[in-house]
């Protein structure tokens, strides 16, 4: 009989095999050990993928690999303006990197999206990098690393991209489709929740780290942006029965400062019948996207969980999100924790919005597939909100299948019963999502690695009173 200890040992042994060594030092982990991925990029270290591995290594006291990763990816960040529009812009962090040999010498080769599906720039890599840097500092108390000139410059360059004057009137971050974990066309262009949650966390992390002289302008910009961003997300992205009733009675085509329907959301675009049946009493969540005439009411798991973890949501909203997950367990977790989105785009909606993407067929991959990596975020939210029984239940489900199924990348089907159609085996962040969830449950004192103190209620309240036309980008 296979025991829990056997499964953990197998997971750790497999994780050790994923570690990449550069010039004799560990610098990251490959995306997957699946031997069938020749010609694909699963042999590279992805920034977003490695974050979960890094947090697990920090929890276990293995800090060298995380420090090396931060240092090496920082060296890959472009520091000069590019005249070629097809080259990565100043300040971007790569999507991934791999080791190549040039005249017999090891080098790191970065991919900024040039080789990715649809050539989309990974906006989330830069945000995750700052969040991970702050986690490393919290774990090691090695503040000297973050205060080095090159690290201060790296943070500044990322923030210059995020806080730059742009063609936008909102405090959120405008991005194209495919700019985050959902890296294929799925109708999330604009101001997707995943990016906004990471943006908020990155600003919070940068605010703690940018204390060296010369950063005063950026610190002021962060202080101005944060309360507006929090107020905006908490107010305009929130969906519960009370909010749904307000939207249901919206009038369209409103002009001026006193407009109630500020985004000109047309009532008929909201699936009220489905939401009326699906939203449980006391439940709520943050919408997937809000923008001009747009409120995407799909549930996006990563954005909602990260909002709870980092206190982007209020305490009441966090509780409502957890109530929703508990009451709609079969939909959002099912037979494998947990869905990345819900519900799936189907029929003509799937064709038009995804471009008939054969990987994002309904209830597969990013179109409502189940991703075990999300377990570590679910564990963090459960511990943070005192819902430990939920993550214990999720871990028990995962433990039954993951090792037997050879640690697949994702699962398909309405309840996640099928191993993903194009899922890679021995996916590193699947292994890490499972192990990290267990560590967080066993050692809740590690929550500060990824969480923040609640933001000042007074600051948020003042920001809520501001009108968009007074927002200074």
Whether residue 464 has pLDDT greater than 60? no
Q: Residue 37 — pLDDT band, cuts 50, 70, 90?
A: low
> Can the peptide bond before residue 364 be classed as cis, meaning omega within 30 degrees of 0?
no
| Residue pLDDT, tens place only, 19-34 | 999 999 999 999 999 8
* pLDDT on residue 82: 74
Q: Express as a percent the part of the chain with pLDDT over 70.
A: 95
Residue 29 three-state SS: strand
Pairing between β-strand 105-111 and β-strand 96-102 as defined by DSSP bridges: antiparallel
Least confident of 101-110, 197-206, 364-373: 101-110
Whether residue 269 has pLDDT greater than 50? yes
Q: Residues 357, 184: contact at Cβ < 8 Å? A: yes
Q: First-to-last CA distance in the chain?
A: 60
Cα–Cα distance measured from residue 69 to residue 47, given in angstroms and rounded to the nearest whole number:
9
Cα–Cα distance measured from residue 91 to residue 155, given in angstroms and rounded to the nearest whole number:
8
Buried b (16+ CB within 10 A) or exposed e, 100-110: eeeeeeeebeb
Least confident of 99-108, 252-261, 317-326: 252-261
* pLDDT on residue 115: 73
Longest CA–CA span in the chain (Å) reads: 68
| Residue pLDDT, tens place only, 119-140 | 778 899 999 999 999 999 999 9
Q: Residue 460 — pLDDT band, cuts 50, 70, 90?
A: low
| Residue pLDDT, tens place only, 284-296 | 999 999 998 899 9
* pLDDT on residue 467: 40
Whether residue 192 has pLDDT greater than 70? yes
Q: Backbone dihedral region of 406: left (phi > 0), alpha (psi from -120 to 50 degrees) or beta? A: left
Q: Residue 473 — pLDDT band, cuts 50, 70, 90?
A: very low
The mean predicted confidence, pLDDT, of the chain is 92
Q: What is the mean pLDDT of residues 50-76?
A: 98
- What's the CATH number of domain 4-240+279-466, 1.50.10.10, 1.10.260.40, 3.10.20.30, 3.40.50.1010? 1.50.10.10
HEC profile of 276-324: HHHCCCCCCEEEEEEECCEEEEEEEHHHHHHHHHCCCCCHHHHHHHHHH
Cα–Cα distance measured from residue 59 to residue 243, given in angstroms and rounded to the nearest whole number:
39
Q: What is the mean pLDDT of residues 259-267?
A: 85
Q: State the pTM of this model.
A: 0.95
């Amino acid at each position: 009989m296979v025991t829990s200890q056997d499964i953990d040992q197998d997971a750790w042994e497999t994780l050790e095999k994923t570690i990449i060594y550069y010039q004799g030092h560990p610098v990251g982990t490959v995306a997957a050990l699946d031997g069938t991925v020749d010609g694909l990029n699963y042999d590279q270290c992805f920034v977003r993928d490695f974050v979960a591995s890094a947090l697990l290594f920090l929890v276990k006291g293995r800090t060298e690999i995380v420090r090396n990763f931060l240092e090496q990816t920082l060296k890959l960040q472009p520091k000069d303006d590019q005249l070629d529009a097809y080259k990565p812009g100043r300040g971007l962090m790569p999507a991934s990197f791999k080791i190549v040999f040039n005249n017999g010498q090891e080098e790191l080769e970065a991919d900024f999206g040039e080789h990715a599906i649809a050539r989309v720039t990974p906006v989330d890599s830069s945000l995750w990098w700052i969040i991970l840097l702050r986690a490393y500092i919290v774990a090691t108390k090695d503040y000297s690393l973050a205060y080095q000139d090159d690290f201060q410059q790296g943070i500044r360059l990322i923030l210059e991209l995020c806080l730059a004057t742009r063609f936008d009137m909102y405090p959120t971050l405008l991005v194209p489709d495919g700019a985050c974990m959902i890296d294929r066309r799925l109708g999330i262009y604009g101001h997707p929740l995943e990016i906004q949650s990471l943006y908020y966390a990155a600003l919070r992390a940068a605010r703690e780290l940018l204390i060296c002289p010369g950063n005063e302008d950026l610190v002021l910009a962060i202080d101005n942006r944060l309360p507006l961003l929090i107020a905006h997300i908490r107010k305009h992205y929130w969906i519960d029965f009370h909010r749904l009733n307000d939207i249901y009675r919206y009038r369209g085509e409103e002009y001026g400062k006193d407009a109630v329907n500020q985004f000109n959301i047309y009532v008929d675009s909201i699936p009220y019948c489905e939401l009326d049946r699906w939203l449980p009493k006391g439940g709520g969540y943050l919408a997937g996207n809000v923008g001009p005439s747009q409120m995407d009411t799909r549930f996006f798991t990563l954005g909602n969980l990260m909002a709870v973890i980092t206190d982007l949501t209020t305490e009441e909203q966090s509780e409502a999100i957890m109530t929703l997950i508990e009451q709609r367990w079969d939909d959002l977790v099912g037979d494998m924790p947990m869905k990345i989105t819900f519900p799936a785009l189907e029929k003509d909606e799937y064709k038009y919005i995804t471009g008939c993407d054969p990987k994002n067929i309904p209830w597969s991959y990013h179109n409502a597939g189940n991703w075990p990596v999300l377990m570590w975020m679910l564990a963090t939210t459960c511990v943070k909100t005192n819902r430990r029984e939920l993550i214990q239940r999720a871990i028990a489900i995962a433990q039954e299948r993951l090792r037997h199924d050879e640690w697949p990348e994702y699962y398909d089907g309405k309840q996640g019963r099928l191993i993903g159609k194009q899922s890679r085996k021995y996916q590193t962040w699947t292994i890490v999502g499972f192990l990290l969830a267990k560590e967080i449950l066993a050692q809740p004192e590690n929550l500060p690695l990824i969480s923040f103190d609640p933001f000042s209620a007074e600051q948020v309240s003042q920001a809520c009173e501001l009108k968009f036309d007074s927002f200074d980008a």
